[in-house]
Amino acid sequence: MTEESIRVLIADDHPIVRQGLELVVNTQPDMKLVGQATNGNEALRLFEELQPDVVVIDLKMPDENGLFAIEQIRKFDSKTPILVLTSFSDDEMVISAIQLGANGVMSKDSPPEQLLKAIRDVVEGQSPLHPLVAQRLMSRIRQSDALEPKDMLTDRELDVMKCLAQGLSNKEIALKLTISTRTVTTHIRNILDKLELENRTQAALYAVEHGVVNK
């Protein structure tokens, strides 16, 4: 391991999932598993004790679930990235996790290479969203009566927001829209300010809720 290794804390009540994550993470030269929690209370305690670089957390756990842990972590730490790993059996919990401050959502069925990329992405400030997240959200979220994004954002900002909903990184958005990554960053900051959102994950959720991906 190097001094720059990404220090990972995982929280899941299923031993086989934790063992699988441990194997996947510890085979990477740039990652190190520093702790394993089996419930929300333990996740919070280990987070405070170990101060990891990233938290990979399940939502459904006994003795306080993942939502509890995310909410408590965000009360005193707004920066450490949190990646939700879920089976998508409860859409409401996934939405709540994003609203509470989770930075990304991946499926437990994701191949190891996708999960590892998602961990690296959230550490770098990106917001990986499994394609199934957008599909499930679009199928269940009703249109809000609030002011539509098209009434508040420029056409280019809407283009960027659509890319966020597709889970694209800043570099991928820049290539797709033929603009610089710096310009992408500026657009994202403007989107968050105008819509009063905290991070790009919430912007992606907002885009899905308001049908921006279909425009």
The CATH class that applies to domain 6-137 reads alpha beta
**Which pTM was predicted?**
0.69
- Tens of pLDDT, residues 102-138: 999 998 888 999 999 999 999 999 888 877 766 666 5
Beta bridge partners of 54: 8
CATH of 143-214, one of 3.30.420.10, 1.20.140.10, 1.10.10.10, 2.60.40.650: 1.10.10.10
- Tens of pLDDT, residues 2-13: 457 999 999 999
Q: Break the chain into its structural domains and give their ranges.
A: 6-137, 143-214
d(CA 77, CA 43): 14
* Per-residue H/E/C for 11-57: ECCCHHHHHHHHHHHHCCCCEEEEEEECCHHHHHHHHHHHCCCEEEE
